[in-house]
Amino acid sequence: MEQLLIIQRAKRAQVRHIVSICNSLGDFFQVYENLRTATDVYHAVGVSPSEVANPGLDWEEKVFKGSKLDRVVAIGEIGLDYYRKFGDKKSQIELFIRQIDIANSLEKPIIIHNRDAGQDILSILRDRPVEQGGILHCYSEDWDYARRALELNLYVSFAGNVTYRNAKNLHDTAARLPLDRILIETESPFMVPSRYKGKRNKPAYLSEVAQAIADIREEPIEEVAEALYANSLRIFKLPADA
């Protein structure tokens, strides 16, 4: 019930669709079932770095099964996290590479988790290009990194931290990126926009992220919002009336 209320509030805030990113494969099918009637919500399925120590013997079967469900549009979040030291680097890298291969076989984009592992991620993606593109989820690197990522068929997704005054690297990146390679997200319940500091993040707050990007780029919010929407339709292969 709470999830549906959050979705309703998002719609009132002119959020046209939501992609629910899997960060626990064990919970994916229950979350999907809970949101089955929410036809404006799409899904990603995958094994996050936090699960590398125990993804389950049948994790590949579950990812393939989940990918076949209606409105499942990406494999993710997947990637590397060296900050929290989930398992060992070798295991994380192997899991990441295998899921890139799965995404390519399924002709789906990937959603990439990167924490203190940026160079390894770029190196892996140079060796294993993502055929349907990828998204650098909750971006935290600088412009130089984004510039190199553009060469690898990646989009850059900003969360509420782009609204922080001291996030100069994000501001510089948002200003210099081609508008057609930018996405926005909540990273809910974290990364709340500065205006809502102390509250739990919600999709309804996405307008704050879009406005911050428009202000940084000194472009009309209407043009930026429409471009962000078009970008999401393109990377996730959603119909124009989604």
| Euclidean distance between CA atoms 37 and 226, whole angstroms | 26
Query: In the chain, what is the straight-line distance between the N-terminal and C-terminal CA atoms, in Å?
Result: 23
Average pLDDT over residues 27-43: 95
43 phi-psi bin (left φ>0, alpha ψ -120 to 50, beta other): beta
pTM: 0.95
Q: What is the pLDDT of residues 1-32, one digit of tens each?
A: 678 788 889 889 889 899 999 999 999 999 99
- Span 19-47, mean pLDDT? 95
Res 53 pLDDT > 70: yes
Q: Is the pLDDT of residue 41 over 70?
A: yes
Place of tokens 């984004």: 146
State the average pLDDT over residues 126-148.
Answer: 97
Q: Cα separation of 82 and 87, whole Å?
A: 9
The least confident of 87-91, 112-116, 231-235, 238-242 is: 238-242
- C-alpha torsion sign, points 172, 177, 183, 187: negative
Q: What integer is the mean pLDDT of 221-235?
A: 97
pLDDT over 70 (residue 242): no
Concatenate the DSSP letters of all residues of 195-229 into one string. Answer: GGTTSPP-GGGHHHHHHHHHHHHT--HHHHHHHHH
Convert the pLDDT of each residue in 61-98 to its tens digit: 999 999 999 999 999 999 999 998 888 999 999 999 99
Digit-coded pLDDT (tens) for 153-211: 999 999 999 999 999 999 999 999 999 999 999 999 899 999 999 999 999 999 999 99
Q: What's the pLDDT at 73?
A: 98
Per-residue pLDDT tens digits for 105-119: 999 999 999 999 999
Q: Are 83 and 47 spatial neighbours (Cβ–Cβ below 8 Å)?
A: no
Q: What is the pLDDT of residue 59?
A: 98
